[in-house]
Structure 1
């Protein structure tokens, strides 16, 4: 029979995950990130897109709402500049709809007197999924 989880284990798990992320971040050198951005230029991504990606990935301690905004900017740039090069079955309409929902969510959270961490986390997950979907379609 499996052991019941103790209530205090959640904090340990979060701490472990945070330390793993810190460890991985130590191995990503500025040269590696610079070569990734150079690769994006070679793939003919726009400067605006690359700038948005830099803002998402480089600054540490970013406000999560700003990060979500930068991801939205990057997806908008993919839709505007690369829609002609995307596959015919690329879900551009769905991306636009999701983008509008995320932007509205950002506005609602930003106007709230107190920021709800669960809503921010859910919005960040949606923005991550949208960004990954659009970027994957643009790279293919």
Structure 2
């Protein structure tokens, strides 16, 4: 059995609501027995404080950074990958990021998906401002 070369099937930063089915469909293929989809949602707390909302901002070239990270993971793993990150004002429960990886077996897909999420978090210039229920706010990862 031969498989198609790995590639970035979807890479986008947008202000619209994210669709996990779109991201999953981008990587799904007949040779993939394992498709892992990670969905990152806005939670209602951080560091013991109640969070009321988040605001994501991105560098003007963040799309290119996201694509490059996805391409590196696709190349190093040989697997198709997809990632979409939202920017703008988000409320509790909103989807902030959806990432998918497909592989013949689940272990490969889980490892590649986890690695991709880590690389996006550390290398793509997207900054998060948390708004707390107290009225205070703080920037997270604003120096990375």
Quickly name the TM-score band, shorter chain normalised. under 0.3
Structure of higher CA gyration radius: 1
Higher strand share: 2
For normalisation by structure 2, the TM-score amounts to: 0.27
For normalisation by structure 1, the TM-score amounts to: 0.27
Higher helix share: 1
